[in-house]
Structure 1
Amino acid sequence: MTALRVAELFLYPVKSFRGQSVKTAMVEARGLRDDRRWMLVDQHGKFMSQRTLPALARFSASIEPCGQHHRLTIEHVDGARLHIDSDTAGESIDVTVWSDTVRAHLPTHAIHEQLSELLGQPARLVYMPDESLRATDPTYSQPGDIVSFADGFPVLVTTTASLQAVRELTGQDIDRRQFRPNIVIANDEPWQEEQWSQLQIGELELDLVKPCTRCVMTTLNPDTGEQDANRQPLKALAGNKRGHQGVVFGMNAIARRLGSLKIDDAVQPKFPDQR
């Protein structure tokens, strides 16, 4: 068996926007640092997603240090480029992500109007501050586990071999970005990740708590938001990788020991009987 290693790392500074490929990352309790701490909400404070608004794929987001804070840069395919700092003052409001209600900062900034114009409907950009704690699903986690604005868990792990298996199932060159992973592991055995219970990458330890249930977002072009005419890869996965909760690909993970990781780091898996 080929030694496992970290092949790619991705951050998604704004939920449902295109992500940012990085060479190194710090994994904290909520997930990769700066991952999905920002989110668009409608006039009622409800989260906005490519599931119902595919045009969000036309936005990309990246984040860089700026003094003691971080600067978020949002770009749109039409060339618009917007900036906002994480310390931008604003009121605190309730926002909803699925069944969760959490407090978020609503910056006092023209970016809301600019984003609304680009999107073609009202939208507001909110930020999850450190003091806002959103719990993970207790069925698969421990008391005190928290997550950002990600759907349910802090980290998503996928593998190169499973992606290749999906490409073979569909007969299409499926883009790995359609699965929105945080950590991509290079390996040679499809679906191997579903047998792992824990990963150790340097000092970092991740519990792999459940397979990731997939949705219509996997069928969207990650650059345009256009849906695949054959609804792939979801259609192929539905016939081959359906669990009791739905179609699955990749593993949701929670950090048990925090730490950093980088491209080409060695990955040591553990299996349930080794815990």
Structure 2
Amino acid sequence: MITLSRIYTHPIKSMRGIRLSHAFADISGLTFDRNFMVTTLEGKFITARKYPQMLLFTPAMLNNGLYLRAPNGESATVLYQDFNDNQSPTEVWGNHFHALIAPDAINTWLSSFFDEPVQLRWLSPQLSRRVKTHTDIPLSFADGYPFLLISESSVQELQRRCPASIKLEQFRGNLIITGAKPFEEDTWKKIQIGDIVFTLDKPCSRCILTTVSPEKGIKHPNSEPLATLQTFRTAENGNVDFGQNVIIHNTGVIRVGDQLTVLETKLAEKYVEKERETPVAVSTNKPQINTLSLIFEGIEYQGDNQSVILEQLESHGISVPYSCRAGLCGCCKIKLIEGEVTPLKQSAIKDNGYILACSCIPKSAVKLALK
């Protein structure tokens, strides 16, 4: 028998989740899931892909707002009524909508834990965001879908293959199921959990966030378990998949122990077997910090020989498209016109002078352009 074994909600995007015994499953997701998010002053989402330490913040829901405990033990409380009434432009993965901004005092406190000014935003009861491929379905600050389903047996199979220790929480799912065969969920199209019917719309493509330790808030040095997933879960489009993105048909309460019934099946995605990529050997002795010229799209910025190009461009307010931040998806591919870079992995150097901005560090002054 296949059952629902765990339920997780994540009140603040990229911060610590809360394990529940039961929850209300609404059309936009579980109650309170990804209802809050940290953004830049311009409203662009900020996640643990860039700031892994975000996973060490612990949120707790209050009847009239949110309590947040920082990794150093400091805490802050913000009430719903304190959020600015004005709907402000907000963005997640190129999806533009509106949200409410927390008071200055909260934002100033939160900014002290980042290396840039940030804001805490709340969706408000009126959701203006929609699922890209289902414009009738409202969505929280989640990456793209209201629910993420993870199978315990699939996690166990990955643990068997992976040389590093893995925790189920690294995949940040909402609906955790047990009793199925490894990756059997790939073949499900429609399921019922208790009284609630769900459609598994597409596999979930994974990113560098899966490599961040929930206890330590740091990335795994060898990009595990993403590196292992890449060897047997790489789709034909290059995505590395794990888990299923889910939408709901009817609303109601779901409970741990609810039976899962498969109502409709589909053909599973085809995955390519790949050799494990050998990381480029990087000296443990970091080179002396040097400032250097970073020319992007004809404009010169100050750079250095320590950080990857993507992060350096972001520090200057330049948005380069990205998804995984792990050198897998290729979204951050840019043209290296002049100069030398140090790749963090062999696949970061592409044909015709292209490089992956998330996996290359400038070695000299560089001149770059979008593809």
Fold shared, TM-score > 0.5 on shorter chain: yes
Superposition deviation, residue 120 in structure 1: 4.0
Aligned match of 2:264: 271
Distance, in Å, in 2 between the alignment partners of 1:189 and 1:132 is 37
Over 3 Å counting, the alpha-carbon distance change for 1:168 and 1:205 in structure 2 is same
> Residue 178 of structure 2 is aligned with which of 182, 186, 190?
186
Q: What is the Cα deviation at residue 206 of structure 1? A: 0.9
User: How far, CA to CA, are the matches of 1:148 and 1:184 in structure 2?
Assistant: 20
1:97 partnered with 2:97: no
Distance, in Å, in 2 between the alignment partners of 1:118 and 1:263 is 35
Query: Runs of 5+ in structure 1 lacking a partner?
Result: none
Distance (whole Å) between structure 2 residues aligned to residue 230 and residue 128 of structure 1: 36
* Contact map agreement 1:39 1:126 (CA 8 A) in 2: yes
CA contact (8 A) 1:16 1:56 kept: yes
TM-score, length-scaled by structure 2: 0.68
For 1:71, the equivalent position in structure 2 comes to: 65
Among 98, 109, 115, which residue is 1:114 paired with?
A: 109
* Counterpart mapping for 1:15-94 below 5 A: 15-64=13-62, 66=63, 70-90=64-84, 91-94=86-89
Structure 1 position 122, deviation (Å): 1.0
Taking the aligned partners of 1:51 and 1:231, their CA distance within structure 2 comes to 12
Greater RCO structure (CA 8 Å; 6+ sep): 1
Q: What is the CA–CA distance in structure 2 between the aligned matches of 1:127 and 1:133, rounded to whole Å?
A: 12
Q: CA deviation at 1:105?
A: 0.8
Larger Rg: 2
1:197 shift after superposition: 0.8
Cα-to-partner distance string for 1:81-114 (whole Å, 9 max, x where unaligned): 2212233341321111111111111133521111
Structure 2 CA distance for aligned equivalents of residues 266 and 109 of structure 1:
46
CA distance in 2, matches of 1:161, 1:102: 37
CA contact (8 A) 2:127 2:138 kept: no
TM-fit CA distance, 1:225: 2.3
Provide runs of 4+ in structure 1 moved above 3 Å. none
CA-to-partner distance for each residue in 1:198-226, whole Å, 9 max, x for gaps?
Answer: 12112211110000000011111123321
1:266 to partner: Cα distance: 1.1
Amino acid at match of 2:193: I
Q: Render the CA deviation track for 1:7-47: whole Å, top value 9, x for unaligned.
A: 11111100111111111111111111111010011122111
Is 2:135 aligned against 1:137? no
Computed over aligned residues only, the root mean square deviation of the Cα atoms, in angstroms, reads: 1.5
SS at match of 1:95: strand
SS of aligned partner of 1:6: strand
Does the residue aligned with 1:110 lie in a helix, a strand or coil? helix
CA offsets per residue over residues 163-222 of structure 1, 9 Å max, x none?
000100103331111100001001241001111111211221111000000001111112
Deviation string 1:58-86 (CA, Å, 9 cap, x unpaired) is 2122214x2xxx43121112111221223
Distance (whole Å) between structure 1 residues aligned to residue 125 and residue 96 of structure 2: 15
Structure 1 residues 106-154: Cα deviation after superposition (integer angstroms, max 9, x where no partner): 133521111111334311101002223211122xx3x401211000000
In 2, Cα distance between the equivalents of 1:89 and 1:229?
39
Residue pair 1:56, 1:119 contacting (<8 A) in 2 also: no
Q: Is the 8 A contact 2:129 2:139 kept in 1?
A: yes
TM-score by length of 1: 0.91
Of stretches 148-157 and 225-234 in structure 1, the one that deviates more from structure 2 is: 225-234
2-structure distance, mates of 1:163, 1:19: 18
Q: Are residues 1:214 and 2:212 paired?
A: no
Matched residue type, 1:8: R
Distance verdict in 2 for CA 1:188–1:101, change over 3 Å? closer
